[in-house]
Structure 1
């Protein structure tokens, strides 16, 4: 069986994106196959399209984050069931109808979160959390400046900073 995927066959701009038939991926041990319902589009994806992917070479299927329903389980996978809604980041090849990834790369998505929201928050959420806790830990009393708070990452940074200051320094009450 085959699926459709967006493929970059030559590095360059968005005009290099092509729809192509690819074999359906099959999960190996410890992996899951997911039918993609929404894929995030990130700066990392545009960079890979222009400069080349972090892993592999052209041709490649771009995309590193998304959300969808588990369609098959590899041997030994017990934390998910077929039909579960999951989201992921750093599962290469997300611009496709199906993607295979290690089960440990997926997170369950609550029923009240849409596929689109789940797909769009993974990379930005991890980055915002890293910036506010590791790169430049935000502490009560600090003054913080978020450039371009209108974008996705800026919005997440602002939300996390407000959460920290609004809850006496406890992330767990947000």
Structure 2
């Protein structure tokens, strides 16, 4: 029974990590903060593993083992379904995310990828810039509608001008958000 208690505990920890990462991803998207969460597909797989481990650990005999397993299942299942819906919507309505230009600061401390977007006949088009962090971390720092090209000039190690708009990356300035 010790094994089921360990499986149960690991499932609970994995479920908490998945839930926290999903909340971070949601708030980063809504509030334009640093997105620390891995891609939705990774979170989906991790929540599926947590759900399976939670089901395996139901037979645990610890003090809180059954409660932990049921809580893991109760949180992991809706989280997994929500992430599956997000992945499905991204597959159907997702935009092309081909970067057309990447710029680096003079000291290579900052890297910004620029993407073009076009919503077709019913929307508009423009350019978006994302500051790249370590691993998969990123932050949206620039968006400009109705333009297809960008002109970037660095005015120091952390200050730059994008199409005439001044940004200081150390002060976490953004344009268009």
Structure with greater contact order relative to length (CA < 8 Å, sep ≥ 6): 1
TM-score by length of 2: 0.26
More helix by share: 2
